[in-house]
Amino acid sequence: MVFLTRFNGTTFYLNITHIETVESTPDTVITLTNGKKYIVKEAAEEIVARITSFYQAVPMAATVSRSTSESDE
């Protein structure tokens, strides 16, 4: 999740797995996979940096090792 700021000053956390696009129009518009849009104060480049940092800090589910009990049979 990333911490973001709406233009009215309120802050919130957004689940990055639901982000489809991040655009500068010139305001930063985040579109989710369900079509919902958020306009935030952070620049698109800053959001991408935060997403990148998140993925570097959190192990991906695909990298979690699975039990080898099936292959032992």
Helices of type H across 1-73: 44-57, 69-72
> How does pLDDT run across 18-61, given as a tens digit for each residue?
999 999 999 999 999 999 999 999 999 999 999 999 888 877 66
Q: Cβ–Cβ contacts within 10 Å for residue 47, how many?
A: 20
pLDDT score recorded for residue 62:
53
pLDDT score recorded for residue 56:
85
Q: Per the structure block, which two tokens stand in for 34?
A: 């369900």
pLDDT score recorded for residue 55:
85
